[in-house]
Structure formats: C-alpha cells, structure tokens
Structure 1
Amino acid sequence: MEQQQSTQTLSRTLTLAPIVLFGLAYMTPMIVFGIYGVLAEETHGVVATAYVVALIAMLFTAYSYGQMVRAYPVSGSAYTFTRKSINPHLGFMVGWSVLLDYVFLPMVIWLIGSVYLNAAFPSVPVWVWILTFIFITTAINVIGIRVTTNINLIMMLFQFLVIGLFIILSVASVLNENSMGSLFTATPFFNGDMSLPLILAGASIACYSFLGFDAVTTLSEETIDPEKTLPKAIFLIALLGGAIFVTASYFIYLVFPDHTQFVDSDSAGLEIARFVGGNLFSALFLAGMITAQFASGLSAQASAARLLFAMGRDNVLPKKLFGALHPRFRTPIINIFVVAIIGLLALFMDVSTSTSFINFGAFITFTFVNASVIGHYFVKKNKRQGKELVLYLLLPLIGTGLNIWLFFNLDIHALTLGTIWAVIGLIYLLFLTKAFKQEPPEMTFEDPEGTS
C-alpha cells in the first residue's frame, strides 16, 4: 500500500530538456563508432545514407509512440498499446518480442565492449573480456548497486566530448590535406558501389543505435503535462540521436573513406580514432566507449532481470523461479544469472548478427506501435475526417511499412534465430491461454519497486 501511495504522489518536475537528455543518455551516442565498421562493410561505405534511412523510419515510429503515449500516458509500453488497441493475444506476442530485446541486449553490449578491448589489447582474447564484463556486472547487480541518472548524464556528456573532439580532429585532418571545399561533399552519401539492397541491409542494422529513444515513456508520472511533453521528447530524441549518427558517419567517411582497409570491422572505431588523433585520442576514445558499454550493460542486465521478476510476480512466467528475490540483497538473483548465462552467447556471435538479432524484436515492436495508432484512433475512436486520415492512418501506415521493409532486410541468421524465439513464444501463449480459449495474463513492463 505504501508503494502505491508513493507512486501516486510522484512530483511532476521534469520538463522537456532533462527528458531529452535522459533519452539521449539511454541511447548511448558513441554506439555510432561501435558498429560503424560493420555498417561500412554491409553498405560498401555509405553508412551515412543507411543512418538517414533508419532515421526516417524511426521518426515515423517516434510520432506513433507519441500518439500512443497520449492515449496511455502511464504504461508507455508497446505491449500495452497492442493489447488494448488491437488484440490481447497479439499484444502478448509483441510483449514476447520486447522480452527478446531486454534479455539479449546485455549480450550485445558486452560483445561490442569486449571486441574493442581486444583491439586495444590483442594479447587478451575476446572471450576473456566477455567473461570479465559478465562477471563484474553480474556481481554488482546481485548486490544491487545501480547506475544513477546523474552518473548516466555525466557519461553522456563525456561521450559528447569524445564525439565533438573527433569531429574537430576530423575537420583538421581534412583541411590539412585538402581545401575547405572538401568538407562539403555528397560522397559519404552516394558512391559508385551503393545499391538499395545494401542501404536497406545497413539501415536494418543501424536501427540498433536508436534503441532506447522511447525509454522516456517510463517518466510519464514525473513529467509536467506528459501528454504534450513526452511526444515532443520522443520525437526530439530520435531526431537529435539520428543527427549525431549521420554527422559522425559523415566525418568518419571523410577521414577514412576506404572501409576495406579496416583490420577488423567490428572494432573499426578504434582504428579511426587512432588515425585522426593518435594514441592520446584513441586512449580517450577507448575510455569513452568502454565506460558507455559498461554502464549500458549494467543497466540493461538490471532492467532485464527486473522485467523477468515482474513477469514471474504476475504469473506470466513461473513464479517460484522468476518471482524470487535474494533474502539479503532483495534483488532477483536467479533472473540476473539467467541474463548472465544468455550473455555467454556472445562467445559464439559476431557484432553484425547479434545487433540484427536484437533488431528482430525491435522491428516487431515498432511495427505494432505504428499499427496501434491505426487500431486505437482510426478504428476504435473513428477519427477519419480531414487531417485525421493523415494523422491516424497515413503516417502510421508509412511507419509500419518502413519497419516491415527493414525487418525483411535483417541478417538471415538473425531472422532464423528471431523466428525460433517467436515460435517458442507462440507455443507458450497456446499453453497459457489453453489454445486461445482464455486471455493471456497481464504482463508488467515497468521496473518494479522494491527489487533494487
């Protein structure tokens, strides 16, 4: 009862600016360097164009998130949107896709961080770094130490510093070899090797960089006028994040146009940092990258474990296993270890396949967020007059189409793994609902109190 009262009396103090900063911090801006080499290999160098395509798709999706937050300002979950706007069983499957992102995201974060540490210290194998990441973050999360918003903000500012220094060094490098005019060229967006299938394949991976732009929906009860503020914030976070990714990709191409010269595409960012700024900047760059990946992994594992706990508590998953807390630390210790064990898959995956696998769940989620706008406003609320046709049918329909288009351009291995995950979810749904004769139980996608 005390928890309910404290939740109901959260003070509404957050305005647009701090919410946007929180969202950008959650996205981890330096990830543009983390997957640049993979994208360059996939697109034959035109990474900036892939990010532009991804940005367009994400802006339509951000618009739809904003519309659904107005309808359901408390939950802010794609699962809730689909359940209430379209169908409860379909909502469960969207929730299952959300669960995929939660439980496998730490694996991808740990893998990217380990690849970069291996590039800096090649005598230490990648698997050692992966196990180190998993051991340290798991130990911290078992004890219950969590990264605060202030620390996240400091780390985000550090990332902006590194990105800013990179752009300055890139400009200096280009001007040192060429004229001012060479700073302004369309070559990073268009070259002779580009093709639509390559761009779409790259964009389907690039969307990984945007994951988390919708995370601010969890702040709805602490936001001043959330129905107006949150939609603006979500759109701005996607727009500003995309601008950072496109700009960084543009300058990376200017200083390092030949992607075939990367020693290792998975850790190309470190090679680029060393090229433009020497050992000092590459050390700063590595510190920024690893700090960001460590903090992200810590938060991602904690969030995944707490989501599993909430689902166990609500009997969506077996309560005795997933609903248990450590008697001393009051943390969901079994769930933390489950996420850690899943993280071991990083030992057998590369960055390209792992990010695509995460995007499998993301594209399903984004597709149904767009579809939920149509289901809620156009179908159920009967908003079909004048500009309502554009707002509640055309725009979300475009967003749906773009996400489906990118979905089918994912890595074939990711599509295979994702399909297996979806089939497992469907079989489990059949079991929970006695072959669709009952509605599935409610799933809670908010971070439960009292588990930290």
Structure 2
Amino acid sequence: MSDSGDRELNEFGYTNQLRRTLGGFHTFAAGISYISVLTGVFQLSYLGLSEGGPAYWWSWPAVFAGQLMVALCFAELAAHYPVAGSVYNWAKKLSNPHLAWMAGWMMLLASIVSISATALAYQRTLPQISSFFQFIGDGTGTSDAANGVLLAALLIVFTTLVNAFGVKLMARINSAGVFVELLFAVLLVVFLAFHLVRGPGVVTETNGTGAGHAGGYLGAFLIAGIASSYVMYGFDTAASLGEESLNPHRNAPKAIMRALIASFLLGGLIILFALMAVGDIHAPELGTAGLQYVLTDALGPAVGRMFLFVVFIAITVCVLAVHTAAIRIAFAMARDNALPCGSKLARVTEKTGTPVLPAIVIGVLAVALLLVNIDSTQIFSAVTSLAIILIYLSYLLVTVPMLVRRLRGGWPREDAPPGRFSLGRWGLPVNVLAVLWGGVMTINLAWPRNEIYNASPPYHWYLQWISVLFVGVFAAGGFAYYWFVQRHRIGVLADHAAPAAGGPEEGSR
C-alpha cells in the first residue's frame, strides 16, 4: 500500500478515485513541459535582451540556483506525500487548512492566468511559420492582439478536450511532445554551434542597458532577470500527478529534479549559442522578437521555420501541462469542499477516470480572460506578471511552514519508510535558502517598475502599482470569502473519504 501512495492518501482522509497509469517518463514529461524551456526562452528572451543585453544570460544560472533550493524541498515532500494538488496539500500537512487554502487559491488563480498567457505565445510563433495563421488583420496593432486571442482560444479548447478525455490521453500527447521538444532542443544547440561568429565573452556585454538606472547595470539586470524567473517554475506538477502515477514515491522526486536540471542545461546552452551565432549582437530585432529572430538570421528561413514548428509543439504541450496541473489543484481543493460547488468539481467520471468539470470550467475561464488582451494588451501583460508572483508566493506558503517545522523538530517525518529521498543534514540550509530566494524574487517581481507594468501607453499610476494592488485584492478578497463563507463548509466529501475515516479528517472543519 505504501508503494502505491495510498497510505499517505489515507493520512489526508482520502481514498484514491483517480487511476494509476503514469510511469516515470510521464511524470518527468509533465514537469518539463510545464517549464517548457523552448516556450519560455522564445517567448521571453526579448525582455531579457532589451532590458539587460546579452549579459542577461547570467540570470539563467542565478534563477536556476535559487529554484533548485525550492525543488529540493519539493522533492523531499513529494517522496513523502505524492498527492494531487501538491502545493495545497503540502501546505495543509505542514501548517493548517487556512494557509493551505491560500496556497491553493493563489496557485489555482496563477495557473488559469498562465494558461491564457502561455497560449498567446502562438501569436509569436505561428504567423512566422506561415502567414496562413494570421487569420485576423495584418499582424499589427489591434489585429495582432485579436489574432493572438483566436489562436490561443483554439489551443485552450484543444487542451480542455484532451484533459476531459482522461489523463492517459493527456500523458501520451504530452510525452510525445516533450520527446520532440527535447530532441530538437539538442539539435538546435548543435545547429547553433555550427554557426558561431563570436566567443562566449558575449555574455559580458550589456549594450549600455545600465544607463539611466540608479543602481547602474544591477538595476537593469534585476529587470532582465525576470525573463528567466518566468520560465523555471511548475516542476511540482510531477508531484501533483502522484495519485495517477505508478511508484510515485520514487518517480515524483526524480521527475522534479530532472525536469528542472534538464531545462536549465538546454535553455542555458540555447541562449548562449544563440547570442554567439546571431550576425549582429546589437540588432534591434533582438529586443523585439528575441530568439525567433536569431533562428532565421543565423540558420536561414527554412531551418528557422522548422525549429519554430517545434516551438509550436512545445507551446502546445506546455499549455496542456499547465491546464492539467490547474485541474489537479481544483480537484484537490474541491474534494475538501474548499471551493464553491465542491461536490461537482470533485466528481471523477468513471469512464475517463478524471475530473471533467474542472477541465471545462478552467478552460472557459482561461478563454474569457483572453478577451482582455484584445483592447488592453498592457493590462494583460501586467496580469501575466502577477500570475508569476502568485506562484512564487504559493511556493513560499510551503517552504516557510516547512522551515518552521524543521526548526521545531517536526520535519522530516520520523515514521517515514526507509529509502525515500531526504536532504538529511542539508535540509535546514537548503530550506533557509529556498525561503530567502522566494522572498527576494517575490519582491523583485512585484517591484512597481515602469519597464514591466507601465512600459507603453496608456500610462496610468494604477498600472505601475498593479502588482501590489492585484495581489492585495485577490489575496485579501479570496481569503475573506474563504473565512466568512467556505471555511464553515470544509470537510472531506463523503465520496472521497477514506474507508476507515470515522470522523473529521485533516483538512476538515
């Protein structure tokens, strides 16, 4: 029983209604497709290059080092508690249902926004492959935003249908997409290596981006580094599929670490070699189109379009993975009756073995959110940034209580079976660094900078301060709803309660 993970489910008061069909590569693929190095690098490299020049590359290993501390903590938790809605249930086990609800609420909200934002990456890719995909207008102004919304909506409809048909279909499509993405990421590194025109010293060039910043280049670097911060997260998805995985205690921790490390290595090499291969390192297109420009400039239009097609595949499986993770968060909270209509959202369809209603609701909300982008692209970009802040905050709501438990001697578990991943004596320093990193990055991401939140017309004070306003309103408003309405209804639903449960379980009122 312990090998399957069902014993830990009983500790939470649950019985498993999901189907265990996913192997080791499936869980790894879920984690790495959520990170999706090709999607993130090609969607956001323009930000790093425009704000920090080629030297922004150093933010890649810096962000990796910080996120590695978080991933190590999560790997230890996944070895003990491979449970759906990982962040939500981990926070509940480490602290209390109130903090857990906040962690789950922030992660769920951030995931829905991330689905919409990532799906919009189609507009940066498909029209460059062929003008056929520019269904609306000529790709400028409002038509660009409207066409992006159309392409993104079609993708979200696809991910909704796939997730509704069951985790097995999702895993097959996701794993195939990840295999193609990894293969061509390696090939891209090789192709770029044959077209180098300068040495690695290019990563010391700032292109004068430090001018005008009070802190000199450090100020510019902190902004540019946000591009890397937007990529390396979501590795906890491997653990969130724990109730649908075979041997999750071993597979989930490995998948978390392998997904992050593989993404770091491939992404770092792609950015480095692209900067070494581009013809003109000062080309203005680097700050507007990013690495998409490098593909056609260094490799030629034909080869460039081939790799852009792989980026299209990467975006597809990335949105699919984010959608899958969001469903697991919603399902985990719903079976505790911690969301409105919890009994309906937590219902697992017998035919597919998956919760269908959350897939549909999340898909509808993500498409509805896209409509903001048509006339208010700047507001949508700001909201996208805020989603990343919420993810970092939700991670902190796990690593902080974990640190408190360590200091009090309540972690790691004394009754844990032998052989599970453990940080041992390194647990405390790693946990401290994870908390410090999360706090610093949250502040850096939320800092009210014009470059991120008020970069183009119309200039409004509330756009510059939207990070503070948005997080404050949604955190306070969400918790107020929980405290005054939903808190009194929370309890493990009867359909999901462990057979031996004779009363309220952990997470119930």
TM-score, with length taken from structure 1: 0.80
Q: Which residue of 1 aligns with 2:402?
A: 373
Q: From the superposition, tell whether residues 198 and 6 of structure 1 become closer, same or farther in structure 2 (CA, over 3 Å).
A: same
Q: Which of 130, 148, 151 is equivalent to 1:132?
A: 151
Q: From the superposition, tell whether residues 77 and 304 of structure 1 become closer, same or farther in structure 2 (CA, over 3 Å).
A: closer
Q: Which residue of 2 aligns with 1:288?
A: 310
Q: Which of 452, 456, 473 is equivalent to 1:420?
A: 473
316-325 or 118-127, larger mean C-alpha shift: 316-325
Partners of 2:84 and 2:241 within 8 A in 1? no
Q: From the superposition, tell whether residues 148 and 228 of structure 1 become closer, same or farther in structure 2 (CA, over 3 Å).
A: closer
SS, match of residue 316 in structure 1: coil
CA distance in 2, matches of 1:136, 1:14: 26
SS, match of residue 317 in structure 1: coil
Pair 1:23-2:23 in alignment? no
Pair 1:149-2:171 in alignment? yes
Q: Deviations over 1:412-434 (max 9, x none)?
A: 34623333322222222232367
Pair 1:173-2:195 in alignment? yes
Query: 1:261 deviation in Å?
Result: 2.3
Q: Which residue of 1 aligns with 2:63?
A: 54
1:41-120 matches, within 5 Å, as 41-75=50-84, 77-119=86-128
Query: 1:315 deviation in Å?
Result: 3.6
Query: 1:288 deviation in Å?
Result: 1.4
CA distance in 2, matches of 1:309, 1:8: 11
CA distance in 2, matches of 1:358, 1:337: 18
Give the residue type in structure 2 aligned to 1:43: G
CA distance in 1, matches of 2:77, 2:267: 26
Q: Which residue of 1 aligns with 2:227?
A: 205
CA distance in 1, matches of 2:100, 2:16: 29
Query: 1:318 deviation in Å?
Result: 2.5
CA distance in 2, matches of 1:9, 1:335: 21
CA distance in 2, matches of 1:73, 1:308: 16
Partners of 1:310 and 1:323 within 8 A in 2? no
Q: From the superposition, tell whether residues 209 and 419 of structure 1 become closer, same or farther in structure 2 (CA, over 3 Å).
A: same
Q: Which residue of 2 aligns with 1:342?
A: 369
Q: Which of 348, 360, 372 is equivalent to 2:389?
A: 360
Q: From the superposition, tell whether residues 260 and 429 of structure 1 become closer, same or farther in structure 2 (CA, over 3 Å).
A: farther
Query: 1:339 deviation in Å?
Result: 2.4
CA distance in 1, matches of 2:438, 2:228: 12
Partners of 1:36 and 1:47 within 8 A in 2? no
CA distance in 2, matches of 1:442, 1:98: 20
Q: Which residue of 1 aligns with 2:268?
A: 246
SS, match of residue 74 in structure 1: coil
Q: Which of 199, 203, 213 is equivalent to 1:188?
A: 203
Query: 1:380 deviation in Å?
Result: 4.9
SS, match of residue 285 in structure 2: coil
SS, match of residue 213 in structure 1: coil
Give the residue type in structure 2 aligned to 1:343: L
Query: 1:49 deviation in Å?
Result: 0.7
Partners of 1:27 and 1:209 within 8 A in 2? yes
Give the residue type in structure 2 aligned to 1:428: Y
Q: Which residue of 1 aligns with 2:433?
A: 398
Q: From the superposition, tell whether residues 389 and 201 of structure 1 become closer, same or farther in structure 2 (CA, over 3 Å).
A: farther
Partners of 2:116 and 2:152 within 8 A in 1? no
CA distance in 2, matches of 1:295, 1:29: 11
SS, match of residue 209 in structure 1: coil
Q: From the superposition, tell whether residues 58 and 335 of structure 1 become closer, same or farther in structure 2 (CA, over 3 Å).
A: closer
Over the matched positions of the two proteins, sequence identity in percent amounts to 18
Unpaired stretches in structure 1, ≥5 consecutive residues: 447-452
Query: 1:50 deviation in Å?
Result: 0.9
Query: 1:374 deviation in Å?
Result: 1.6
Give the residue type in structure 2 aligned to 1:421: F
- Count of matched residue pairs: 427
CA distance in 2, matches of 1:216, 1:419: 29
Q: From the superposition, tell whether residues 403 and 162 of structure 1 become closer, same or farther in structure 2 (CA, over 3 Å).
A: same
364-373 or 113-122, larger mean C-alpha shift: 113-122
Partners of 1:321 and 1:334 within 8 A in 2? no
SS, match of residue 210 in structure 1: coil
